[in-house]
Structure 1
Amino acid sequence: MAASSSYETDILIIGAGAAGMLAARELAAAGRRVLEAQDRLGGRVHTLQPAGFSAPLEAGAEFMHEPVPLTRALLAEAGIRWQATEGQTYTIKDGQVQPDTNFFAQLPALLARLNALPQDMPLAEFLTQEFSGDEHASLRAFATQFAEGYDAADAQRVSAWALRDEWAAGGAEDSPRPQGGYGPLLHWLAAQAQAAGAQVHLAMPVQEISWQPGAAEVLTANGASYHARQVLCTVSLGVWQRATGQAGHLAFVPELPAHRAAAAQLGFGTVIKVQVEFEEVFWHERLPELEFLLSDEPVPTWWSQLPDARPLLTGWLAGPAALRLHTASPEAVLPLALASLAQLLAQPVEVLQARLRASYVRNWGAEPHTYGAYSYPTVGAPAARAALATPVAGTLFFAGEGVYEGPASGTVEAALVSGQAAARAMLA
């Protein structure tokens, strides 16, 4: 594509992730183009099969944290099945293994105090106020680790009320996977959109959106320009939070100060995901039917693919701990992950390395055009999300999991729901 290319279209969608692709399908009756900064579809969904792995793996979103009615409906329409996870959850602390048959046993005490909390506050402040003292140390650690590990949140910022609602709903306890990953669903949505006339332009990082009521010009780093009557922007919250002069900053002319301030108020967590496939499953003697493993190691969370018997383990580091390593290379992260796993499996790290067939590290904090993994709710998040999602002059519209308000915060479901709602608003 020539650097000086110029295009005219009725509707332009920026971002080819879950929100953008579902919106493109919903806008099938209108002319539109979809711009994506990366050279692939999917955004923070990325199903791929690196060299050495026996089957595809999920570098990004993997689970369906219930309830996800739109995701289920789309998977069914696309003919894609999903499969429940199986197995045993273990906790290892100070080298001691404990089958954790009820990981959420401490939730009732937390929820009782959260339900009585008269005003919202950050989780860390709530725990200090309501559960101080040595007798509550394990409960504070549980709540903090869960918020930072599962929600990729900073305990100093994440909303106690939002965690109350999340924990009461219990979505983390039921987390099936789409068979074959989320990638096939995104490609199916793209194929449907393209069959209806959408054009997808990859490797087109947007640098500036100049707008006036009823018209917008979008300029890319490649020198291409796009003119549209309406623009739907589905970039990640990480892009919104990039400052002027930083790589990946998206400029609006005129600027949108209320939207920019709202984005800054919201939380956006980062994740490092490490996947290691071995020659065979060798951990069942120590951890029979391992599903999830929670620990106090530097890479604290691991899971298998059960009921799939593939000898693949996934390591997960999220929240502030991942942020501290957001500039680390895969070559720096892998030894840290293997050292953690060696401690957890009571195996010399040399034995793991000898049995290792393939490895893959994805550091979402260092990911261009994303700069993180998914949003988390801060105090005042509902108002900030509403402000960030507010259309401008019937010309600029916004979608993505970062602007979604509902029980599926931070998920593919959130992105899909948001993209669908924005598309329908544009057609109204």
Structure 2
Amino acid sequence: MKKPDIIVVGAGAAGLMAAYTLVKSGKSVTVLEARNRIGGRIHTVTNGFTNPVELGAEFVHGNLPVTLGLLKEAGIATTGVDFEMWQHHNGTFEKSNEFIEGFGEFLDKLNRLEEDMPMQVFIDQHFSDEKYAKMRNQIENYVAGYDTADIHDVSAFALRNEWNHEDEDAQHRITGGYGKLVDYLAKAIISAGNNILTDKAVTAITWSKNVVKVSTADGLIYEAAKVIIALPLGVLQAGAITFNPPIPHYTKAFNGIGFGSIIKILLEFDTPFWEDNAITGLTGKGLGTMGFLFADEAIPTFWTQVPNRSPLLTGWLGGPPAYEQKDASPEAVLEITLTSLSTIFKMDVPVLRNKLVAWNITNWTAEPFTLGSYAYDKVESAEARNVLQQPIETLYFAGEYLYNGPAMGTVEAALTSGKNVAAYVLDNN
């Protein structure tokens, strides 16, 4: 195989976007991917489901320029999604977007904070009174569910920025799934005469000026002038790759950024039972337009395929509660999920189980080539990100964890990072 100009380690969104950008500028690349597939945390499958489903990334969260621009370029359609929020507490359904009791008071005090600290420290200092117990619990649950973060180390400033600039732009799903976008990037890379090699888990990188040698688990060595490392942060934090010479300053920086935990549960039933008359009797209103459902259960978040009428229900467990279940079997997580639904909808677990047509549990925290969900900011993350965005001789890093903006943790973040690092390589060739 011909020696490429650049090796890209990781065929997720960041790695493929970096390779795609380089190829469009005439560079030759070889992409090495540890899995037997491309896409990383994008994984669109059928696997017994009636329609393609997303085991990983699912939504385009707002009017995101890089993602939507690439979709337009590829001619891939999207469907707008209107999220009608419902909550279930103490046996009662309520349509509501209010997740945190007394949030106005909380945000007002948070906006006056002058020095960053972990959110738990801020709460202990200002909202430790018993009257705030419900608020504290709601904040912890929200941070775990939405940011997949641990409230004990997540940055108060980062959450403040997120909550003050929540994206209310239109949300989208990609028609046919995110896999179409992955395939578009891969096709462009390969059709230009480059290689994307799967089942190539990188174990070591030996680097010096203008020469890098990348060793894989199957005993092969790939050589190029430069390498872009586009692996999930969890893999880098675990020390899966040995660098020679070592890069201790960068290794420390990896651990200065938070990386959450997630378990995604896909359940296809024979009918969308939550629209049944019996359920309408419980809610007092039909749930035919319900987008999200939040509940005080072991699996606290569910969503439907609205506006499409579909019997698919997605469950979501994030943050420390997901980490606690990282070693649970898929069958055990399924049982927990059905028990949660049983309590919410007052249907026996065997009835729900008999209605199941297909199911899948994706435990991204246990998945060895991901080891988590997506990044979140700790107090020291800005400094760590600055370190990691500076290349060392022939080593460059890319990934959603390096993105600094409102779309942190998304496919947009990964694509933007890949595009930016490729531009940096081209500018400094």
The TM-score normalised by the length of structure 1 is 0.94
Structure 2 residue 389 is the aligned partner of structure 1 residue 389: yes
Match of 1:42 among 32, 36, 39: 39
Structure 2 residue runs of 5 or longer lacking an equivalent are: none
Q: Deviations over 1:278-334 (max 9, x none)?
A: 111111224512211111100110000001111000000010000011112212211
Change (3 A) 1:7 1:323: farther
Cα pair 1:7 1:227 within 8 Å, conserved: no
Q: Which residue of 1 aligns with 2:159?
A: 163
Task: Quote the Cα distance in structure 1 between the aligned partners of 2:378 and 2:292.
Answer: 27
Q: Which residue of 1 aligns with 2:374?
A: 374
Change (3 A) 1:405 1:46: same
Give the CA deviation at 1:93: 1.7
Q: Which residue of 2 aligns with 1:76?
A: 72
Task: Return 208-217 or 88-97, whichever deviates more.
Answer: 88-97
Q: Which residue of 2 aligns with 1:404?
A: 403
Q: Which residue of 2 aligns with 1:235?
A: 231
- Code of the residue aligned with 1:376 in structure 2: it is Y
Q: Which residue of 1 aligns with 2:272?
A: 281
Q: Percent identity?
A: 41
Aligned with 1:71: secondary structure? helix
Aligned with 2:59: secondary structure? coil
Q: Which residue of 2 aligns with 1:97?
A: 93
Structure 2 residue 5 is the aligned partner of structure 1 residue 23: no
Cα pair 1:9 1:226 within 8 Å, conserved: no
- Code of the residue aligned with 1:342 in structure 2: it is S
Task: Quote the Cα distance in structure 2 between the aligned partners of 1:366 and 1:386.
Answer: 29
- Code of the residue aligned with 1:45 in structure 2: it is I
Task: Quote the Cα distance in structure 1 between the aligned partners of 2:155 and 2:415.
Answer: 23
Aligned with 1:176: secondary structure? strand
Cα pair 1:47 1:60 within 8 Å, conserved: yes
Q: Which residue of 2 aligns with 1:295?
A: 295
Cα pair 1:305 1:313 within 8 Å, conserved: yes
Task: Quote the Cα distance in structure 2 between the aligned partners of 1:122 and 1:174.
Answer: 31
Structure 2 residue 180 is the aligned partner of structure 1 residue 184: yes
Task: Quote the Cα distance in structure 1 between the aligned partners of 2:357 and 2:12.
Answer: 31
Aligned with 2:203: secondary structure? strand
Q: Which residue of 1 aligns with 2:114?
A: 118
Cα pair 2:268 2:356 within 8 Å, conserved: yes
Task: Quote the Cα distance in structure 1 between the aligned partners of 2:3 and 2:363.
Answer: 36
Q: Which residue of 1 aligns with 2:251?
A: 260
Structure 1 residue runs of 5 or longer lacking an equivalent are: 1-5, 244-248
Cα pair 2:63 2:171 within 8 Å, conserved: no
Task: Quote the Cα distance in structure 2 between the aligned partners of 1:84 and 1:95.
Answer: 31
Give the CA deviation at 1:107: 4.0
Equivalent pairs, count: 416
Task: Return 38-47 or 280-289, whichever deviates more.
Answer: 280-289
Cα pair 1:260 1:388 within 8 Å, conserved: no
Change (3 A) 1:16 1:87: closer
Cα pair 2:260 2:375 within 8 Å, conserved: yes
Aligned with 1:347: secondary structure? coil
Task: Quote the Cα distance in structure 1 between the aligned partners of 2:169 and 2:27.
Answer: 41
Give the CA deviation at 1:257: 0.5
Q: Deviations over 1:88-118 (max 9, x none)?
A: 3111122222221444785433321121001
Give the CA deviation at 1:411: 0.7
